[in-house]
Structure 1
Amino acid sequence: MATSGAYAQDYSRVQTKTMNDNGTPFLVQFRSGGNAYKLSEATTVLREQLQLTKNDQMVQAKTDADELGFVHEKYEQYYKGVKVEHGTYTLHARQGNVESISGEFERVNNLNVTPSLSADAALKSALSFVGARKYMWQDAAEEAGLKATSNDPGATYRPHGELVIVRNELSRDAALQGKPTLAWKFNVYAQQPVSRAYIYVDAHSGKVVLQDNIIKHVAATGTFATKYSGTQTGATETATGGFRLRELTRGLGIETYNCRKSNSYTAAVDFIDADNSWTEYNNTAFDNAALDAHWGAQGTYDYFKNVHARNSYDNAGAKIRSYVHFDDVPGGAGYENAFWDGTRMTYGDGASRFDPLTALDVAAHEIGHAVCSSTANLTYSYESGALNEGFSDIWGACVEYYKAPTKQTWLIGEDIDKVRASLRSMSNPNAESQPDTYQGTYWYAGSGDNGGVHTNSGVLNHWFYRLSVGGSGTNDKGTAFSVAGIGIDAAAKIAYRTETVYLTASSNYAAARTSSIQSAKDLYGAGSTQEIAVTNAWSAVGVGAGYGGGTPPPTSVTYCASKGTSVAYEFIDYVKLGTLVRTSAADAGYYNGTALTAPSLTAGTLQTISFSAGFVGSAYSEYFKVYIDYNQNGLFTDAGELVVNAAASTSAATRTGSFTVPVSAKNGKTRLRVVMSDNSATTSCNSYSYGETEDYSVTITGGAAFASISGGSATVSNQFELYPNPATDRLNITLPNNAVVVSMQVMDVRGAVVNGARFENGQLNVTSLAKGMYTLTVSDGLTTFRQRFVKE
């Protein structure tokens, strides 16, 4: 056979790896030492670790450096020359060595990138979807204003179609939902009613596949102003007739305008005061709300500049413009909202529910959306949208604490709400019908409000509160927690690094957990009190285990890679197990089918799986192996998890294998792996020469809480103390209730038993082990305990 030109992953350099829910790496940490990747090898790192094909391109977008000495090179993903929306990956290097990579990579296979629908036709679909009465480009004054403010005579609000690849998030067809789709992207700004969003239209079918709001409504939100914060000082500028609310000392400036109860930005005018003593603005028109907006914008700029060394929301000094007395219906009853539209701040005067929405924490919240759009750019829907909202609430609380510490830091919008105590409570989200636990009480599982972005943000809010203040109790999942608070300043530094360095557009709560833990390690060191607090705070809100034990979050279970480097001659073309039926051509050596509907397997029942090989030209002798991770620990090496081991055959006919699901299998969804190789030595974790691996999900029912393992113990748990981890010479092992260790086994990442480690006096001597990741299994005779550790 010919030699493959594909690139294999270099496992020897990887220390730990955390996966996205689409089966691609979210965070890969590398070992230090002589074989560390160099920053000059960026292309090699991405090619090897992401397993790029000839159709994949990673194009460098920008480079940043931070105060910790890291250099962050951000890359954007392209497939056959078409940008993959939200596909961004970052290399994190220090002193010339790549320490980690992180981001979102979309695996795109066999996608037709030639549109069958023109941009003009797609725009009609987008506008039909939005359904506005009037759009910004239909207003001649607004068009002229845009040209003037941008100093670009060709500037226009009229959407221009950009061809991209994006996940289909709106289809009700399970076969299309979440799949990479060729789409036209439009920035649609509506004037009546007000909205602005990126609308993505399938370039073949003409259907809208994603809406990503640019204007982030706060669902009845607020802002900050001296109407609510007493007498404050703020920079102004001289003007005809006195002074106006403008200043140029912060970045490119901060400016505040009067929309005069209209929806026109171009018709907005300056607020003018003759003597620069703005004491006469407490009137029936609520003109003092403008002072709040101006002071709040300045305070938010100061917070990010002085605390996080960030120069305005884009870190390039961008001008912050605020418009007060806005009304979406000119002369209407009052606009009960505030928003950032991608360019400026807009504040309504409120009506029945709210006073003018210019309170300090609300203004910081809205400018926080601008920071997000320039960093993680979290898509405004479902979990990523909840994170987007949650981070804005975090910055609202932080700015309020920074500028007005006597206010109620942990309430959002308490100054403007005329009906309730606040919009949201970070200390007690349940008080405002928000969840304080992931998928717990008040968690919203519907599609309204862009998938519950204003509701489910309560989980991130409460995580930040617990990280800052601490506390103990039991969450909605029945998990006991105890968090030692680290203070709002340290918590803010961790949250800021999480959002600006590690998160990407489609990040979810599991990714936020991984990213914040890594941020704590970067800032304060592995094993620090800050890392411990971050981890325990996530446990408090139901996302993953507490530090040193418990069950990891569902999306953080990491499976080893398995891939054939060549499918030029043979590949898997058919797999059937219960309701799972898939016929396919070659999938470049690996196919991730874990998102397909998982067949239900009842514990104790006999199951039959069918499979076959496809050949190009001659038929070759192929082995099939099928694995099921019955105890859901991320390994296929436990006893009984190799469920089919089929002998070599050159037949292209469908073959079958039977197995019985053990009664001790853990209930719930887990991984099924099918491996076809021409080499009998190929195992569940290999980059092998010829053949293919396919991963699927199955759902176990009627099983036990944890799977048995052969050799005696009835249950498997990872709830025991194992430290320090990583270790250089010795690991301390403490079992619950100080139980005695009666047996011990160490396995490497391939699942092979490793000899040489010695256990004595409660410690495991790992001095003789090579650097890398291992799995430790210990037993007290009744329970088997298993955890992974890293030898440095």
Structure 2
Amino acid sequence: MTRQQSSHRRTTARAAALLASAAMVVVGVQTGSANADAQREAGATALAFSGSQRAAAVQEAQAGAAATGKAIGLSGKEALVVRDVVKDADGTVHTRYERTYEGLPVLGGDLVVHQKKSGARSTTKATEARISVATTTAAVPSATAKQAALASGANASEAASTARKVIWAATGKPVLAWETIVTGVQQDGTPSRRQVVTDATTGKELYAYEMIETGTGNTMYAGQVTLGTSGSYTLTDALRGGHKTYDLNGGTSGTGSLFTNSTDTWGNGLASNRETAAADAHYGAALTWDFYKNELGRNGIRGDGVAAYSRVHYGNAYVNAFWDDSCFCMTYGDGINNTHPLTSIDVAGHEMSHGLTSSTANLRYSGESGGLNEATSDILGTSVEFYAGNATDAGDYLIGEKIDINGNGTPLRYMDKPSKDGKSADYWSKSVGRLNVHYSSGPANHFFYLLSEGSGSKTINGVTYDSPTYDGSTVTGIGRTAAYKIWYKALSTYMTSTTGYSGARTATLNAARDLYGAGSTQYNAVASAWTAINVK
């Protein structure tokens, strides 16, 4: 290949022994039985901002934040801080805010203001409670809260930040509290960043959750593919926000070393070649970036045109992958015996989509909102896999189907009938929020499958599915393209940090209404799919 000075696309060699076939990527090709695209309502489609356009939109919104707060009825002690701005083609602007009270961050006080071109305004709030506390003077010292947060953990080598005074509004009546971030290492080697919230009056622990968002993937090699690299042969993709892929070389902290080569060829399809995992991770990140831009109208994870980065070869025989907000990066282990790196297309899509969720609704990683967080990553990771149209890694509704973690060829999770894994829930119930977030994601994954493909038995890309419904009803799918556009619009404009299953139903109905119209086939299908998993 001719070497060029600008960013260009590189070819990754794969060992024939590991390939079912070698296939060039055809971006955007999708297969499946329910894949006829619905005609989108152009006006409700989000515009893709450049980095400078987004910055200008955020600046403009922040300049008007005081007036907006007054218009929506906030008290004089409250203020709004802009987190994100989404503008639709019809001129509707969705502005996402965090809130402060007497200068203190309000956790669970986030909201989205929707303003049409006509000036009509509506608001979606994480809490409807009035933000007010009797005093902002803490009875419990910050040092006491810090020690209590450390004592509550079970991870190794923990350290804690200085406690930050906040208003806690995510789970009922707002109270004055301390927020402490406790870092350490989980039992499987995954880094730990726990958020612990302590009542500043009583010292009681109000909330604790793990901020490192994990996901398990597969080791499906994608065949011979093209990669975006730099003119100096480094894994730097200038066409996609400057995404870089680094080698941790068994380390568990820091950035690692940027992959650099003397030639244009990366990896040989064998795990023993360190470049192979890097090529897979780099390729998956590129596909996910393209999917966000071309299908969702979003310029990168944060919408600002700036890429996250990837780290491979984390730890020793580490069987996981994770997203971490603190480094704005995706990290991949090498799997059992360091021979099965977790760097496939759907894993990259899953982990990057944790970043997308953090940058939009910021769904809290516990309870029902945690399940929706995980489901979002499964939904978008699966959608990226279909979007790729890669013959070697065909799209499916199975999660981790190639990792063989069960030792019998079965996948980790099933979207058509989640309970087939023995742990996930098929339908919503009052107990769903008490499950591990990877299993409370089941009903939302099931909803997405039903909305995309419908109920009953069918075969897609050689995989047979048979999706039941809670009430025995029949659901007709609208195709995955319409389904993921509805989910993304709901995530980016109508969900908040505290959204649960009932709220997700409302958010997706609002999104379907905006995109296709109230009473449309798509709108009615959203309602039917939620009813089919017992969310009414």
Q: Same fold (TM over 0.5)?
A: yes
Contact 2:271 2:277 in 1 (8 A): no
**2:330 aligned residue:** 345
Q: 1:372: how far off?
A: 0.4
Q: Distance in 1 between matches of 2:314 and 2:404?
A: 18
Q: Distance in 2 between matches of 1:467 and 1:427?
A: 11
- The answer to whether the aligner puts 1:261 opposite 2:253 as a matched pair is no
- The answer to whether the aligner puts 1:371 opposite 2:368 as a matched pair is no
> 504, 508, 519: which one pairs with 1:512?
504
Distance 1:41 1:325, change over 3 A: closer
Distance 1:284 1:212, change over 3 A: same
> 287, 293, 296: which one pairs with 2:281?
293
- The answer to whether the aligner puts 1:310 opposite 2:298 as a matched pair is yes
Q: Distance in 2 between matches of 1:384 and 1:354?
A: 34
Counterpart residue identity of residue 512, structure 1: A
**1:460 aligned residue:** 444
Counterpart residue identity of residue 432, structure 1: D
> 150, 161, 165: which one pairs with 1:163?
165
The C-alpha deviation readout for 1:54-78, integer Å capped at 9, x for no partner, is 5762525254322342112334334
The C-alpha deviation readout for 1:236-258, integer Å capped at 9, x for no partner, is 1244xxx221221112x111111
Counterpart residue identity of residue 486, structure 2: I
What SS is found at the alignment partner of 1:76? strand
> 88, 111, 115: which one pairs with 1:89?
111
**1:103 aligned residue:** 125
Q: 1:310: how far off?
A: 0.9
What SS is found at the alignment partner of 2:336? coil
The C-alpha deviation readout for 1:513-540, integer Å capped at 9, x for no partner, is 0110010000111111110111111111
Distance 1:353 1:521, change over 3 A: farther
What SS is found at the alignment partner of 2:490? helix
Q: Distance in 2 between matches of 1:56 and 1:231?
A: 58
Q: 1:81: how far off?
A: 4.2
The C-alpha deviation readout for 1:99-143, integer Å capped at 9, x for no partner, is 5321223334554321123333322222232354435x8xxxxxx
- The answer to whether the aligner puts 1:59 opposite 2:48 as a matched pair is no
Q: Distance in 2 between matches of 1:206 and 1:40?
A: 34
> 348, 356, 378: which one pairs with 2:341?
356
Contact 1:167 1:209 in 2 (8 A): no
**1:553 aligned residue:** none
Q: 1:43: how far off?
A: 4.3
Q: Distance in 1 between matches of 2:364 and 2:148?
A: 21
Contact 1:237 1:245 in 2 (8 A): yes
Q: 1:46: how far off?
A: 1.8
* TM-score, L = length of structure 1: 0.53
Counterpart residue identity of residue 248, structure 1: A
Q: 1:381: how far off?
A: 0.6
Distance 1:404 1:187, change over 3 A: farther
Contact 2:131 2:169 in 1 (8 A): no
Q: 1:167: how far off?
A: 4.8
Q: 1:476: how far off?
A: 8.2
Q: 1:431: how far off?
A: 1.5
What SS is found at the alignment partner of 2:332? strand
Distance 1:168 1:117, change over 3 A: farther
**1:602 aligned residue:** none
Contact 1:215 1:340 in 2 (8 A): yes
- The answer to whether the aligner puts 1:386 opposite 2:371 as a matched pair is yes
**2:91 aligned residue:** 69
Q: Distance in 2 between matches of 1:481 and 1:353?
A: 46
> 415, 418, 426: which one pairs with 2:402?
415
Contact 1:71 1:94 in 2 (8 A): yes
Q: Distance in 1 between matches of 2:339 and 2:109?
A: 39
User: Which structure has the larger Rg?
Assistant: 1
Q: Distance in 2 between matches of 1:250 and 1:524?
A: 30
Where structure 2 has 5 or more consecutive residues not aligned to the other structure, the ranges are: 1-64, 458-465
**1:235 aligned residue:** 228
Q: Higher relative contact order by CA 8 Å / sep ≥ 6: 1 or 2?
A: 2
Contact 2:509 2:527 in 1 (8 A): yes
Q: How many residues align?
A: 453
**1:119 aligned residue:** 142
Contact 1:64 1:72 in 2 (8 A): yes
- The answer to whether the aligner puts 1:200 opposite 2:202 as a matched pair is no
Q: Distance in 2 between matches of 1:281 and 1:85?
A: 46
What SS is found at the alignment partner of 1:394? helix
> 236, 242, 247: which one pairs with 1:246?
236
The C-alpha deviation readout for 1:484-526, integer Å capped at 9, x for no partner, is 2111111111000000100000110000001100100001111
The C-alpha deviation readout for 1:145-176, integer Å capped at 9, x for no partner, is xxxxxxxxxxxxx734321122586xxxxxxx
Q: Distance in 2 between matches of 1:61 and 1:97?
A: 19
**2:418 aligned residue:** 429
Q: 1:288: how far off?
A: 1.2
Q: Distance in 1 between matches of 2:455 and 2:212?
A: 35
Identical counterparts, % of pairs? 36
The structure with the greater share of residues assigned to strand is: 1
Distance 1:353 1:282, change over 3 A: closer
